[in-house]
Structures are given as C-alpha cells and as structure tokens.
Structure 1
Amino acid sequence: MKRRAVTSAMAWLLIIYILPLVGIIAYLSFGELHLGKRRAERARAMWPATARWLSDLKQSQHIFAHKNSDVARALFQLCEKRQGIAGVKGNQLQLLTSTEDTLKALVRDIQLARHNIEMVFYIWQPGGLADEVAESLMAAARRGVHCRLMLDSAGSVDFFRSTWPGMMRNAGIDIVESLKVSLLRVFLRRMDLRQHRKVVLIDNYVAYTGSMNMVDPRYFKQDAGVGQWVDLMARMEGPVATTMGIVYSCDWEIETGKRILPPPPDVNIMPFEQESGHTIQVIASGPGFPEDMIHQALLTAIYSAHEQLVMTTPYLVPSDDLLHAICTASLRGVDVSIIIPRYNDNLLVRWASRAFFSELLEAGVKIYQFEGGLLHTKSVLVDGQLSLVGTVNLDMRSLWLNFEITLVIDDDGFGSDLSRVQDDYIARSTLVDRIRWENRSWWRRVVERLFYFFSPLL
C-alpha cells in the first residue's frame, strides 16, 4: 500500500509470479515494514513525553552548536530539521581501532560506573574478552549500579542459549530479548527487522558506539573462512551521551512498554570547551524514528563533497540514488574511494555487490578490497572534515529497515584520525583493476546479475 522503489516492487511481483505460494508467504513475512501492533502503539505513545524532554533539553543552550563548517552545514541542518535537535558541542571523542583495546576500556569504565549502565547490541557472543565484560557488568549490578541490557533475539541467539542470561539476571541486570524470533510471530511482525544498534551508556556521561558487536574476534565465526572481524568504535564523554540516551530510552519503551527517560542534563555536562571539544549529531533510524533519515543523510554528505570521499562498508548494495550520487561525485572531480572486505560472510551480498563494480569503476571510483579479515567498519569521510561513524551498512537493510545509529562529527581533527585509520585499511587492501575486472569470466557476470536481481530485497 506504500509507494516503494519500482525495482523492489517488480522483484517481489516476479517472485510471487514464479513461486506463488512461497512468494506470497515470503512477502507477508518480509515484504512490508511492520513493527507489530503492540510496538507500533508504544512508538506512537512515547513521542509526547519524548518531545517534552527534548524541549526541556533545548533550554541548555550552551551545549548546542550553532555554527558548522561549510561541508557539514547542510547535513547538520537536515538533522536538526528532521530530528528536532541540533548537534551538541564540547565532547571528548576517541577512536578505538582494536577490539581488545575497546573491550578493556569498556571494562574500566564499567568498573568506575556509579549510577547506571545501558547497553544494546545486535550480537553478544560468549567467549574471550566478552566474558570479562559480562563479569564486570554483573559486579557493577551487585554493587548497586542499575544495569539494562537489550540484545537482538536473532543476532544473540547463542547468548540466550547459554547460561549467561540466568547468571546476569541473578546478579540484578535487566535483560531484554529484542524482537523475538518465532514461527508464531511470523505474520505479526517482519522477522528480518532487527535491532542492529551497538551502544553503551555509562552514568549518562560516557558513551560508546560503532560497528563492533560484543564479541571477541578470536572466538567469533572462526569457521566462516573470512578471517577475524575488523571494527571501529568511538568512545565519548560529554553531552552526546544525553542525546544517545534518548535513543536508548525510546528503544527500551518500544520493546518493553516501560519509560526510562534519562535525567535532565547536568549544568556541568560540558567540561570541554568548544575549542577543544567535538561537535556531534546523533542519527537514529528505524521504525518509529524519522523515515528515510539515514538515506537522506548519506546523500547529503556525498553531495557535499568537493575534494575527497572515502567510504568503508562490509556490505555494498547501495540504492540507485546512492550509486548515482557516488558516481556523480567522482565524475565531478571528487577523489572517491570505497573500501570493502575481499571475503564476505554473506554469499548473497558478496555476489550482488560485484554487480555495482563496473558502473563505479567506469565513473572513476577506486574500489579497494581489504585483505586483513572481514572489514566490518562503517565510516564515511568527506573532505577530511565531515565524518560519519556508526552501525549503518551501505545496503537496503540498514538504509530502510533495521534500528541503526550513526554519529555525524564536524571536526577536522577527528577527520584526520579517521583518515589515518582508512589509510591503514587501504594499505592492507588490493585495488580493483578496471581492465582486469572487465575481462572477468562470463559465468561470474551471470552469477553477479542473478544475485543483483535480489539486491532490492537484501
């Protein structure tokens, strides 16, 4: 009943025509974006209280940024217009490129927590350093810290089958299995709609987000043949934790029906002056949040590029609009690079993404295939100034379906840090040669086009 891209509609119609019974069942299960009646009602009911909270937050004018760089201005204006809140300034921001460093830093912050800890992850895989995080979280709960943990039912299936949920609940941790998967719910809610955010909030002041699930790469998907996963996380201190807290509270209320709006911001929430702090905007996407927000943000960022555009993603299945924007940027003289893993854990995406290579290469886009494992980092850097880091892949699922979160940072210092990380990825990658690519075997071309047919549904 809702207007969708013609390619997506035609793909569904053809599937239903070729396989009528299977196609109809698949469409009812995965074709429409429905959150479920109860969750949809909660999403509608939460907004009046959330709007009042945002209105109160706006009284703290000193935390909001009113000026942006030329390259970031359009994107920050879009976010403020659609989300009702401007970017916040005075944040301390640190990039963490090692999973071991990230998990050890997280354990230290949990040990220092005094009031509350909130977490949401798509995947929590027991084993290795992830167990140390679990132990520290239980210790925090036992000493009186209010701990809430929300994990996606499908992504964290191994966790929920282990003994950890029982031990954590016994320690006093509130655990929620988000978007439960079962045959009984298949026609009540879209089953492939997932909680894909990765967020940690500590004492409404320290925050983490990025591409990393709660896993130790040494113990995760070792038999997939793609190597260890390579991720990027951001650790933040400052008012951005407050804006991320409102996203978490909305997710919690949609899933449980319980309201946990974060407390009003402390007057001393911004210890870092504007000269030494970062300006950050938080984009939350998914059902119940501004529709098409992340897609519009990516398009705005790409069209803002004048000199250089570097993108990293594990899954490259862009919309036609995004593909056109990327190619147009290259054709108008922007130095465009896309870094993807050479080996991917998703067979459909692996082949479907290659169907876009020819058009990108013809436009002059440089495509790098990362050789050092499964590059899972999701990042965009525009002209060394505007950065996007978070959980969003360049595929249809992240753009229009899942619950995702992205940080938008307007700061050349952070841009330099992100550029060094991306340069390291490029140094460990192989550049796709256009001539060799055009001479690939015919059977590969056929397979690419067959999987490309399903790209609107991936």
Structure 2
Amino acid sequence: MVSFLKENLWPVLLAINYVLVVVFSVLIVLKNKNPVKTLSFLFVLAILPFLGILIYYFFGQDYRKYKIFEKKYIFDNKTLKKWRKSFSLDQAERADFKEEFGEGIFKIYSLLRHNEKAILTFDNEVDILINGEQKFERLKQDLANAENHIHMEYFVFLDDEQGFEIIEILCEKAKYGVGVKLIYDDVGSSISSKSKQQLTASGVEHYPFLPVLFSNSTSKINYRNHRKIVVIDGQIGYLGGINIDKKYNNTFDNERYWRDTHMRIRGAAVGSLQSSFFLSWNFVAKTDNTLDESYFPKGKPVLNDPIAVQVVASGPDTDWENIMEAMFTAINTARKCICITTPYLIPNSQILTALTTASRSGVDVKIIIPRKSDSWAAQYATDSYIEQLARSGIRIFRYGKGFVHAKTMVIDDVFSSIGTANLDYRSFSLNFEINALIYNKGINQQMRNIYKTDLEECEEVDYDRWMQRGLVRRLQESFSRLMAPLL
C-alpha cells in the first residue's frame, strides 16, 4: 500500500481533490446563492486543483456569518430600539419632506425609514473634507479639544508618522481623563506591540475586529470592518474614505497623490454614528456596554442652515444590503444626472442594470475611476465593465493625477452620498460599511463643484479607442471579471 501511494501520489491527491470538489460543488449549489458568485466558485474549484479548495475555504465559507452575525443582528436591533427610546434618537417625520425633496428622494427615505440602522435626522451641519490634509488637520484639532470621550473605528490604522500623531493625542487625552475607545480591523491595520502597550498604559481601550492569525496574508478574508468612524463628545462625527495612514495625507512624501473625500458632522446624525460604534464595541469587547447620557448629549448645536442626513450602516449582520439598495433606489429615481466616484467599479447585476437603464433613458451618467488601481485584479475587473457601460452612453473618466479613493455619489439637485462603500460586491455583501445620505441642495452643489474639479484631472474613455485594446488585455479583464465576486 505504501509503495502504491509513493508511485501514484499525484493521481491519488488529484482524486482526493476532485472528490472534495464534487462535495463542495454540491454544497455551493444547494445554498441557492447569487448564480454569478456560485459559478465563480465552481469555476475556481474546477480549474485550480488544491488552490481552488483553499480559495473556497477562505473566501466562500459563510458559516461564520450564520454563527456569529445572526446573533449579533438580533441583539443589535433590540439594543438600538432600547437606545433610541432612552436617548430620544428618533426625530418626527417632517410633513413637508416629500414636497421639499421630491418624490424620488422620498422613496430613498421610505426604503430605509423602518431600518433600525438608518435614522433620518434634520438638524445637522456638514463640512466636506477633501483629502487627508483637510481631514487630519480638523480631526487633530477636534481630538485635542475633546472633554468627555473619543471613539474611533477604522479599517486601516497604521502607527506610521500619521498614525503616531493620532496615537500621541489619544494617549494624552486618556491620561487627562477623557474616555478613549479604539476599534481597528485586524486585517487592514498594523499597530506594533510597542504602540499597543503605549495605548494600554495611557488608559486607551482598544480591540481588534475579528482577529486573524496571519493578518499580512489575509487581505481579502471576508467580513472585514471597512468603516471609518470618529465620534467626539457625542457632538462631532467623522466618516468617509480616509483611513489612518500617511499615504492618505499628501503633505507626506508619498509614492503618489491620493484623492479622497471625508465629512465632518455636527448635529443629531452624530448619534447614529455613536450607536453604530457601540454596536461594534459591544461585539469586539464582548460586553453589553451600559451607555452614559454623555454619549448622547441632549443640547442641540446652533445651526444656520440645518441639513437632513441619514446615516446608513450595512454588513453581514444586517437583514438587507442597505447601502446597495439605497444606491439602487437613488439611481433609479434620478431624472437629470448621476455623478459617481469609486476606486473599484465592480457592480453587481442590480447596480449595473440600474446604471445602464438610467443612461439609456436620458439621464447624464458620469463615473470617475482610477487610471491606475492599487490592485491589478481590481484594475482588470473594473476595466471589463467599461465597454458595457460606455455602450449604454455612460461616460467613464479615468483619474490620472494619482489614485482616487473617494466613494461618493451625487444625483440631480438634492441627493449626495459620502461613505466607505465601494461600488463592488465586497462592499455590498461582505464588509461592514457606513455611508451618509445627505438631502440638501447646498451640499449637492458643493459636491458637483468638487466633481467638476476632479474631472479636470481625468481622461475620458474614448469608446472606439477602447475597443482596439489587444486580445491579451481582454482575456485578463474577462478572467478577472469571473473572479469579481471573490475580489
């Protein structure tokens, strides 16, 4: 028997591989998931012996979702209801909402109105922050002025020059009695043991989100916390695309220019960010944190021009793909124009159909993507959609000044979205994301102006020229597109 195995080791291993492939294939089909994703996994299993099984094991398994996040979903909804009642987070629906913002915008609100994680608030002040230079300058000022608490939740937190500046402020504030809590994703972040010891010694509470054994080799493992949230004294909030990493700040000597968008909020919407943070905190700290009233201060800031903001969270622990559905509804309600910026354009069938249908029905649709991505697989997968989008009349612009990482959407005259969600499968279905939906003509115009400025750094894709790209490039795009649901 031993000699037989030695002589036939490779055929035996192949036989075992394909027995497992058959078993996994049956399990995948029985799940009745998205056919595109199902076929992607079947394709990988069939053509990549052994490696295909590993890919499915790391990226295709969703037992973690059902075991971990189903309980979290039930617990979170109960907790949010309790918090909303205790801290008066709800606001009465304005009778003139539909009249002021229009039927289309009202549909977006109606879609999310009964969602525990998407509260609409009307009394907010919003500052749009362009790139890390603006964000970190404002953030450091607000952190330095914190009096009660600082809560931070980030996908990427590095203790490089930029991160060290933030860590120093957090430690200093904690030493003076400010309550500081930090959540960092264990795959996206890299904080040295020395920095963690410094945080702990200063009184900063910190936890990784879903710890993994080898974070450096698991950059695409499912169910990562892709959010970027800061809450200061329950009165100031930040969210958007900018992580704690010096490459986001162009004042450093980085390899290339980084274009991103973030936002600073004052007002009732900060309560939504606070709620979202504490749901994550209770999960990572494994505690049912008893919240103090100071986390949801009742005094309202004096605002000259109150802005309606709806903070929308989505992830494996939500019953619906909230952010994707909000985008889908917004695209379908557009009547004049849709302006999108995304670093990864790998839409699912719903968003793809919505975009192409909107364009063919007369809506002016523009999309800004990077000319050169930070991932070759994402680059080819994104490029595979350009032909279909352009053929539908959608204008594609490739940003050339550097890497565009902003995740924004501007529709018609009132609606804007800024957040962490990319236009891809991973953001829609697998990662924990958070976006702010803004209903305001002034902010909409400001976002339009920013978009026009970004277009000056772009080259529009010429359809005829694009169709002349070579066969090898097309094969690379097509193969990457097959892998799109796995990226």
Judge same fold: TM > 0.5, yes or no: yes
Indicate if the aligned counterparts of 1:314 and 1:393 stay in contact, CA closer than 8 A: yes
The one of 107, 113, 125 equivalent to 1:74 is 107
SS at match of 1:355: helix
C-alpha displacement at 1:39, in angstroms? 5.8
Structure 2 residue aligned with 1:402: 431
Structure 1 residue aligned with 2:236: 206
The one of 49, 61, 64 equivalent to 2:79 is 49
SS at match of 2:423: coil
Asked which structure has the greater RCO (Cα within 8 Å, sep 6+), the reply is 1
Indicate if the aligned counterparts of 1:76 and 1:86 stay in contact, CA closer than 8 A: no
C-alpha displacement at 1:309, in angstroms? 0.2
CA distance in 2, matches of 1:109, 1:65: 32
Structure 2 residue aligned with 1:170: 201
CA distance in 2, matches of 1:48, 1:310: 37
1:418-433 to structure 2, matched below 5 A, reads: 418-433=447-462
The one of 127, 130, 134 equivalent to 2:160 is 127
Structure 2 letter corresponding to 1:31: G
CA distance in 1, matches of 2:301, 2:129: 22
CA deviation profile, 1:322-380 (whole Å, cap 9, x unmatched): 11111111111111000011111111110011110111111111100001111000000
SS at match of 2:140: helix
State whether structure 2 residue 414 is matched by structure 1 residue 370.
Answer: no
Cα gap change, 1:307/1:60 in structure 2, threshold over 3 Å: closer, same or farther?
closer
Cα gap change, 1:43/1:300 in structure 2, threshold over 3 Å: closer, same or farther?
closer
Structure 2 residue aligned with 1:181: 212
**Same amino acid, percent of matched pairs:** 27
Cα gap change, 1:183/1:171 in structure 2, threshold over 3 Å: closer, same or farther?
closer
Structure 2 residue aligned with 1:215: 245
The one of 279, 288, 302 equivalent to 1:250 is 279
Structure 2 residue aligned with 1:87: 120
Cα gap change, 1:245/1:443 in structure 2, threshold over 3 Å: closer, same or farther?
same
CA distance in 1, matches of 2:164, 2:480: 38
Indicate if the aligned counterparts of 1:249 and 1:261 stay in contact, CA closer than 8 A: no
Indicate if the aligned counterparts of 1:128 and 1:218 stay in contact, CA closer than 8 A: no
TM-score (norm 1): 0.92
C-alpha displacement at 1:14, in angstroms? 2.1
State whether structure 2 residue 145 is matched by structure 1 residue 115.
Answer: no
C-alpha displacement at 1:228, in angstroms? 2.8
CA distance in 2, matches of 1:236, 1:324: 33
State whether structure 2 residue 131 is matched by structure 1 residue 101.
Answer: no
SS at match of 2:207: strand
Structure 1 stretch displaced more, 302-311 or 287-296: 287-296
C-alpha displacement at 1:262, in angstroms? 4.6
CA distance in 1, matches of 2:458, 2:473: 22
C-alpha displacement at 1:85, in angstroms? 5.4
SS at match of 1:340: strand
Larger helix fraction of residues: 2
Structure 2 residue aligned with 1:136: 169
CA deviation profile, 1:393-424 (whole Å, cap 9, x unmatched): 01111010001000000001001111111111
SS at match of 1:296: helix
1:260-299 to structure 2, matched below 5 A, reads: 260=289, 262-264=291-293, 265-272=296-303, 276-299=305-328
Indicate if the aligned counterparts of 2:119 and 2:311 stay in contact, CA closer than 8 A: no
Indicate if the aligned counterparts of 2:410 and 2:447 stay in contact, CA closer than 8 A: yes
Cα gap change, 1:39/1:437 in structure 2, threshold over 3 Å: closer, same or farther?
closer
Structure 1 stretch displaced more, 7-16 or 210-219: 210-219
Cα gap change, 1:60/1:35 in structure 2, threshold over 3 Å: closer, same or farther?
closer
Indicate if the aligned counterparts of 2:131 and 2:248 stay in contact, CA closer than 8 A: no
Structure 1 stretch displaced more, 22-31 or 262-271: 262-271
CA deviation profile, 1:18-75 (whole Å, cap 9, x unmatched): 335332332232113324745654443343232222234557646x655141132111
Indicate if the aligned counterparts of 1:245 and 1:262 stay in contact, CA closer than 8 A: no
Cα gap change, 1:110/1:360 in structure 2, threshold over 3 Å: closer, same or farther?
same
C-alpha displacement at 1:435, in angstroms? 0.9
Structure 2 residue aligned with 1:329: 358
Aligned length: 448
TM-score (norm 2): 0.86
